[in-house]
């Protein structure tokens, strides 16, 4: 049954492909609003990593579903920084951001039962005073009743460059060409899967972030929400 208190909590969903700026924008918007933040991709990445640790076969759906239920994921806030992510108590923040983890996440995310196993865990993030939820299906499947929905895009080249810079800063060794290929392959798989494919919710506002500074995108997203003190939508 739907929890009436939870559904009264406002949600802003920010979906989009890899490297579209979702993570950075969502964190900044959440911090400006004083709302909670859900990085749903980190949950899929964490299950992918835990499956790797347990040497699970990425085609063994039932083992992966068990892994999705059993993997403990916690987010440790670091003032102004990307939160640290503990997977079964181990700090996996750097491993989680690699393209290998992204590809494993994308493979397991195509299994419907894995998605169902993570559904309630994602919805539990809906806590007062509000939630900014970042992912692929936040506005379509997880929070279809969200009052505010955004879909961020950017050219594949710019997304690969942003990822390249992020990974370089974290000391992860990658090539721009390799990243572009991996991003395109992941986009294709995420957009073509049968369950919860990557696509904007019909009521989402699409923002192309190609060439736009982060601050501009943050302001555009915030402008979609009612001004503080205005009656709720
Ligand atoms: O957003 P991020 O790049 O961390 O997501 C990693 C992968 O997890 C995506 O490529 C996608 O396959 C999967 N994912 C998903 N649904 C979400 C979030 C992520 O399928 N809500």
pLDDT tens digits in sequence order for the chain, 233 residues long? 456 656 789 999 999 998 899 999 999 999 999 999 999 999 999 999 999 999 999 889 999 999 999 999 999 987 667 789 999 999 999 999 888 898 899 999 999 999 999 999 999 999 999 999 999 999 999 999 999 999 999 999 999 999 899 888 888 888 999 999 999 998 898 889 888 888 999 999 999 999 999 999 999 999 999 876 666 55
**Residue nearest ligand 1's atom 12 by CA:** 106
- 39 Cα: distance to centroid of ligand 1 (angstroms): 9
Is 105 a pocket residue for ligand 1 (Cβ < 6 Å)? yes
Q: How far apart are CA 33 and CA 221, in angstroms?
A: 11
- 41 Cα: distance to centroid of ligand 1 (angstroms): 4
- 121 Cα: distance to centroid of ligand 1 (angstroms): 15
Counting ligand 1 atoms within 8 A of each CB, the residue from 75, 99, 105 with the most, and so the one to mutate, is 105
Residue 173's pLDDT is: 85
The CATH architecture that domain 9-222 belongs to is 3-Layer(aba) Sandwich (3.40)
Domain boundaries, given as residue ranges, for the chain: 9-222
Q: How many CA atoms lie within 13 A of 123 on its CB side?
A: 20
Instruction: Find tokens 């979609």 and name the residue.
Output: 224
CB-CB contact of 193 with 110 (8 Å):
yes
- 1 Cα: distance to centroid of ligand 1 (angstroms): 26
Beta bridge partners of 112: none
- 94 Cα: distance to centroid of ligand 1 (angstroms): 16
Is 190 a pocket residue for ligand 1 (Cβ < 6 Å)? yes
Residue 18's pLDDT is: 85
Residue 97's pLDDT is: 86
Q: Please count the other Cβ atoms lying within 10 Å of the Cβ belonging to residue 182.
A: 19
- 231 Cα: distance to centroid of ligand 1 (angstroms): 34
**First-to-last C-alpha distance (Å) of the chain:** 23
Q: Could you tell me the maximum CA-CA distance found in the chain, to the nearest angstrom?
A: 52
Residue 141 carries which DSSP code? Answer: I
Counting ligand 1 atoms within 8 A of each CB, the residue from 20, 23, 44, 132 with the most, and so the one to mutate, is 44
């Amino acid at each position: 049954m739907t929890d009436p208190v939870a559904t009264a909590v406002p949600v802003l969903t920010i979906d989009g492909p890899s490297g579209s700026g979702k993570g950075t924008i969502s964190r900044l918007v959440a911090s400006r609003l004083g709302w909670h933040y859900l990085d749903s991709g980190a949950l899929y990445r964490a299950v992918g990593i835990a499956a790797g640790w347990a040497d699970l076969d990425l085609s063994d759906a039932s083992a992966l579903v068990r892994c999705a239920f059993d993997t403990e994921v916690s987010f440790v806030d670091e003032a102004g920084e990307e939160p640290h992510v503990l997977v079964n108590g181990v700090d996996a923040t750097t491993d989680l951001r690699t393209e290998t983890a992204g590809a494993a996440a994308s493979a397991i995310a195509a299994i419907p039962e894995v998605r169902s196993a993570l559904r309630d865990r994602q919805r539990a993030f809906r806590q007062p005073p509000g939630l900014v939820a970042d992912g692929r299906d936040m506005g379509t499947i997880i929070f279809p009743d969200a009052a505010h929905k955004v879909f961020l895009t950017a050219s594949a080249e710019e997304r690969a460059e942003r990822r390249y810079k992020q990974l370089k800063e974290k000391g992860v060794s990658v090539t721009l060409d390799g990243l572009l290929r991996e991003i395109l392959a992941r986009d294709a798989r995420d957009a073509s899967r049968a369950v919860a494919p990557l696509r904007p919710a019909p009521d989402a506002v699409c923002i192309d972030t190609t060439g736009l500074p982060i601050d501009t995108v943050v302001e555009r997203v915030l402008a979609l929400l009612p001004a503080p003190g205005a009656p709720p939508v």
